[in-house]
Amino acid sequence: MGNPIIAGNWKMNGTITESLRLVSDMKDELHRIPRVTKILFPPSVALSSIANLVYASSIELGAQNMHYEVSGAFTGEISAAMVKENCSWVLLGHSERRGLFHESDEDINRKLSAAYANRINPILCVGESLEQRESGQTQEVLRQQLAKATSDLPSINNLTVAYEPVWAIGTGKAATLNVVEETLADLRAFMETEWGDDGRGVPIMYGGSVNEANATAFGQSPYIAGLLVGGASLDAAAFISLTRQFAETKTQAE
């Protein structure tokens, strides 16, 4: 397994000026935290300026979304080639994309193919709604999301999965460690059945109301390879602190 991963998803927050300030506030401290992959997902309009700012640091960049077509009449969209100019990562299938922008598993599958074709590392988000969890459908929903998103892909090398229960995103109510571990164990079992050894190597992150107060607990779990952080990644001090906690906890567990 590679380094633990901390990813900050800024969503649609901050102008380019504000994004640059936020990166400036966190970049030196983040850069110095060893043995953890640190990825920022700022709004796409800020990527190019931020790329200059983090050049030669250990901070990596990703896009929050991209289209699967190479180019053409897709007003408002960005392509993999555009992403690739500044980023080595892309977030795909975030629940806000699925819910608010009606992205289907088939769309996400095409986007994953485009990421592979362009050698961009994808983080595939999967997660169940509260209603699905309460009606006992979690396992089936997650397995379906994973299977459909990866259907007919030439390889799952470099795939990272983020388990993000919809009910935990932006609610301040993170999933309990028990729930995360039980769910990740099932995802892992499914991946191993589907992809054998390759499935064993896919890192699985957790996301959903991660903050300074729970990062250490999540870091102690051998099931959790990384954290995908929304709200707390917009606060430089909080993001540095939780990154440090997670990295230290993972290092101690080695």
Closest residue (Cβ) to ligand PEP?
230
* Interacting residue with ligand PEP among 9, 19, 37, 243 (CB under 6 A): 9
Distance of closest approach, residue 16 Cβ to ligand PEP, in angstroms: 20
Please count the residues of this chain forming the interface with ligand PEP, following the rule CB under 6 A. Answer: 13
Distance of closest approach, residue 244 Cβ to ligand PEP, in angstroms: 17
Distance of closest approach, residue 197 Cβ to ligand PEP, in angstroms: 29
Reply yes or no on whether 67 is catalytic: no
Nearer to ligand PEP, 14 or 199 (CB): 14
Q: Within 10 Å of residue 246's Cβ, how many Cβ atoms?
A: 25
Distance of closest approach, residue 228 Cβ to ligand PEP, in angstroms: 5
In the window 219-238, what residues touch ligand PEP (CB under 6 A)?
228-232
Residue 217 lies near ligand PEP (rule: CB under 6 A): no
Residue with tokens 């959790």, as numbered in its chain: 224
Here's the x/- map for ligand PEP, 161-180, by CB under 6 A: it reads as ---x----xx----------
Residue 188 host element (H or E): helix 177-195
Tokens of 33: 């935290």
Q: Within 10 Å of residue 199's Cβ, how many Cβ atoms?
A: 18
DSSP assignment of 57-115 equals SSEEEEES---SSSSSS-TT---HHHHHTT-SEEEES-HHHHHHS---HHHHHHHHHHH
Reply yes or no on whether 96 is catalytic: no
Distance of closest approach, residue 173 Cβ to ligand PEP, in angstroms: 9
Q: 126-163 burial by CB neighbour count: b if 16+ within 10 A, else e? A: bbbbeebbeeeebbebbbebbeebbeeeeebebbbbbb
Selecting among 67, 94, 96, 103, the annotated active-site residue is: 94
DSSP 233: G
Nearer to ligand PEP, 115 or 174 (CB): 174
Residue span binding ligand PEP (CB under 6 A) among the ranges 29-37, 150-158, 204-212, 218-226 = 204-212
The strand pair at 226-229 and 89-92 is best described as unpaired
Contacts 24+ apart (CB under 8 A), 95-102: 95/125, 95/127, 95/164, 95/166, 95/169, 96/11, 96/169, 97/65, 99/166
* Interacting residue with ligand PEP among 113, 209, 214, 243 (CB under 6 A): 209
Nearer to ligand PEP, 80 or 123 (CB): 123
Selecting among 96, 103, 128, 164, the annotated active-site residue is: 164
**Cα–Cα dist 172/42, whole Å:** 21
Catalytic residues: 94, 164
Q: Which residues are at the interface with ligand PEP (CB under 6 A)? A: 9, 164, 169-170, 207-210, 228-232
